[in-house]
Amino acid sequence: MNGVNGRRNNPYIIGIPIRERSQFYGRESLFCFIEDQLLGDVKVILLHGQRRIGKSSVLQQIPNFIKSNEFIFVQFDLEHQRRSSLSSIIHDLATAIIEQVTKQLKLDDKKLQRLTKAELEQDINLFTKKFLPHLYKTIKYKKIVLLLDEFDVINNSDKNNNIVEQENFILFLEKLINEQPNLFVIPVSGTHLHDLHNLPTLFRCAPNQEIDVLDDISAENIIVNPAKDSLIYQPEAIKKILQLSARHPCFIQVICFTLFEKARNENKSNIEAADVKNILNQAIKKADSFLQSFWDTLTIEEKIIITTVAEAEKRAIEQQKKVPEEPLYLLDINNTKQREQLRQAWEKLRVKGYLYQEGRKIKVELIRHWLLQYHSFTHYERKYKILK
């Protein structure tokens, strides 16, 4: 093997959902679960997971893994519907259905009846009274499965969201599911199940699955297979990548993307543990926007706890201690109310999967390194005390 050809494109994918089946690794048991539920006529299947864990990629892959002619899958991203009216959301949904159904079934889109925004503003029920009946007849009563990305948008009290219209949409969606036997919904949320209490029972009590980190075999495949014709990963290098990423697919891709760039620039083919260590800072820079999106979802209490855990781990490594201090001990806050708020934040970070169960170590080592570089413990400790 002569190394990476300077003209070869980087085969690792960062920042966008993976659409090609050949570029996707793992999650087989998840797709089997989804298929079993759909074939059992389960109308709502709720998927949830951490930010950047690959939720959008999973949605893109569902049609690739579930090949039943019984279903037509329609992707619909709610991210851009934060400020939209109900009629606008439903208009965009109808448009997405027409575009994707006609493409999948190779139909003339003129055969499907369109609704204007003005019509829906006048009567939102035209979607169920006029659009869906005509659609079902045209597609010979196949089942439509709506794959709803960024479902958090309609369960979020963010000031930038149109709260009233979100509530109207969720009620409209609930009515659709209950009344339309051929309509199924798979929403994907970045919010933990414990925080979905605002949703109707139909969604909260639906069969659900967490989209978690990859298993060992899938994680190793995502490292080795994309560049198998040009790179050889030594066992210790693979071990180091898994250690830094904790089998989180986004961070595996970032690390390997950076390694591939370096190997291409140096025309080398052998990747050793030292190479992984040497590109760590570059990988952290490439992952910064992803890590910042995770950071922005945390409360001030969660931020102070996770930066404290990172600091405690650093001190334990420096002092050659096996077990870091508890974050609440390191913070040394005497106010009872503050301590309770921080204790709850600590517990929440464990439940969300950012910390190991004992709460003294961050699961993804790359995140720990990023926190130490960009979010110092002393800054957030001082900021918290000033705020309180």
What's 216-291's CATH class? mainly alpha
Give the burial string for 71-81 (b: 16+ CB within 10 Å, else e): bbbbbbbbeeb
Rounded CA separation 28/218 (Å): 10
Rounded CA separation 261/271 (Å): 12
Residue whose C-alpha is closest to residue 258's, from 241, 243, 246: 241
Joined together, the tokens standing for residue 198 give 């605002």
Low-confidence stretches of the chain (pLDDT beneath 70): 1-7, 155-165, 197, 383-388
Render pLDDT for 166-210 as a digit per residue (tens, 0 to 9).
Answer: 778 989 999 999 999 999 999 999 877 777 767 778 888 899 999
Q: Where in the chain is the domain with CATH 3.40.50.300?
A: 27-210
Beta bridge partners of 149: 77
Q: 66 exposed, middle or buried (CB, 10 Å; 0-12, 13-18, 19+)?
A: middle
Is 181 within 8 Å of 142 (Cβ atoms)? no
Rounded CA separation 40/119 (Å): 36
344-352: long-range contacts at Cβ-Cβ below 8 A with a sequence spacing of 24 or more? 344/301, 345/299, 345/301, 345/302, 345/304, 345/305, 346/305, 348/302, 349/302, 349/305, 349/306, 349/309, 351/192, 351/194, 352/50, 352/192
148 φ, ψ to 5°?
A: -95, 105
Place of tokens 């920042």: 15
H or E element in which residue 139 lies: none
Beta bridge partners of 270: 232
Domain 27-210 has CATH 3.90.1310.10: no
pTM of the model: 0.89
What is the predicted pLDDT for the residue at 176?
95
Q: Where in the chain is the domain with CATH 1.10.8?
A: 216-291
Render pLDDT for 304-332 as a digit per residue (tens, 0 to 9).
Answer: 999 999 999 999 999 999 999 999 888 87
What is the predicted pLDDT for the residue at 200?
79
